[in-house]
Structure formats: C-alpha cells, structure tokens
C-alpha cells in the first residue's frame, strides 16, 4: 500500500466522540516508550504525525488519523507508566476498555512489544483482556535493529513459548524497526488486505 495521505483527525477521551465515518480502524497500543510514535511515523512516512510526548503517560487520549482517506489509524495512550497516579490509571483503563468494547469498526489491535524485553506481565495481561473480550489482536515487535537478526528470531521464539502457556497458538506477529523501516511493507500490505475484506462485507 502506498501512503498517499495521512491526516490527523481528532483527539478525545470518549469513544462516543470518535469520528463516525464507517472506515476500518486499527488501534496501536503498548507500554510507554515501546516505540509506538516512531512506528506510526515510519508507517506513514511523516516525521512527526504521532507526537512523542515529552512526559510519557501525560497525553492520555485516543488519537485518530485518517490514511488515504479510507482507513483510520488510532494511536492509543501508552500503558504501564509508573509515574501516573492511581486515579489516572483508573480513568485510563475506563476509556480504553470502553474504546475496545464499543468501537464497532475496530478491525484489530496491534499490541507493540519491545523485541529486546522478556514477555512483560502487563503486556500479557492486556492481551488476555483482549482475548477475553474477543477483540482480535496481533503483536508488533519493535526496535528490531537493536538486536542481531539471529537474536531477533530467538526473542520471537521465546515470546511464542510464553504465549503458548496461555494461548493455543502464537498470535500473528510482525518484526519491525522504525530506524530501518523494517516490516513497513509487510504491515501496510496486511492492512490493505484487511481493508478490502472490510469493504466487501
């Protein structure tokens, strides 16, 4: 897929205020600092469409972007940031869970994980939540340039082993690097295919 246009639509904290055009939508979510903004900017080839917030955990909003005027890319707040208060964690949970449970046009969520890290409880819990809600998700491994190719394979294998403790199979996954644009074509191609299916239904 060629990205011809990528425009910011709106930020908000309530699912019922999200844009109502019936376009297929993909949500990107992960721990703060996982490389989500970098990945989004790499995908759409804009330097700073998704803003890397100075203080992670501060900008807790649902951010909609429209790509090629035919699908929504949603940048969700990073989770697991230690410095946010309990109260804002709760608020966060509420609007994120509402988003996932109510957003009808959501095709799937991409859960981002840093390829260098062992599976983290917070990510596994979040994926378990998505599974319980029957919300389809895929995994995007980020920062692959930080490891040698062999170490990347090994890391994915380790992740698979951990996932198989809870899941029947390893979810579909992509290995990416925003620094080297690794995985860009594969991911965009994949989304293009899902968009076609969405419009045919």
Residue numbers at the binding site for ligand GDP (CB under 6 A): 32-38, 52, 56, 78, 142-143, 145-146, 177-179
What angle is formed at CA 54 by the lines to CA 44 and CA 78, rounded to 5 degrees? 65
Cβ of residue 33: shortest distance to ligand GDP, in angstroms? 4
Cβ of residue 21: shortest distance to ligand GDP, in angstroms? 25
CB nearer to ligand GDP: give 23 or 115: 115
CB nearer to ligand GDP: give 61 or 179: 179
Cβ of residue 29: shortest distance to ligand GDP, in angstroms? 9
User: Any idea of the CA torsion for 39, 64, 174, 189, to the nearest 10 degrees?
Assistant: -110
CB nearer to ligand GDP: give 24 or 35: 35
Tokens, residue 145? 């340039």
CB nearer to ligand GDP: give 23 or 64: 64
Is 110 within 8 Å of 140 (Cβ atoms)?
Answer: yes
CA dist 86 and 13 (Å) reads 17
Cβ of residue 124: shortest distance to ligand GDP, in angstroms? 18
Return the beta strands (E) in the chain as ranges: 6-12, 25-30, 62-67, 71-75, 106-114, 137-142, 173-175
């Amino acid at each position: 897929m060629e990205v011809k246009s990528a425009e910011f639509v709106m930020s908000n904290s309530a699912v019922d205020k999200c844009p109502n055009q019936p376009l297929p939508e993909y949500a990107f979510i992960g721990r703060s600092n996982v490389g989500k903004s970098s990945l989004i900017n790499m995908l759409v080839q804009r330097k700073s469409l998704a803003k890397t917030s100075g203080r992670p955990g501060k900008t807790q909003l649902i951010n909609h972007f429209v790509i090629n005027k035919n699908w929504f890319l949603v940048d969700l707040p990073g989770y697991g940031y230690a410095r946010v208060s309990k109260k804002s964690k709760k608020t966060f949970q509420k609007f994120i869970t509402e988003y996932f449970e109510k957003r009808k046009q959501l095709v799937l969520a991409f859960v981002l994980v840093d390829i260098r890290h062992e599976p983290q409880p917070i990510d596994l819990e979040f994926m378990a939540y998505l599974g319980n809600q029957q919300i389809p998700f895929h995994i995007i491994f980020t920062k692959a340039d930080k490891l040698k190719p062999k170490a990347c394979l090994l890391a994915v294998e380790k992740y698979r082993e951990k996932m198989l403790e809870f899941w029947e199979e390893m979810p579909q996954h992509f290995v990416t690097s925003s620094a080297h644009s690794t995985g860009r074509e594969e991911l965009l191609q994949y989304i293009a295919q899902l968009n076609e299916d969405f419009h045919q239904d």
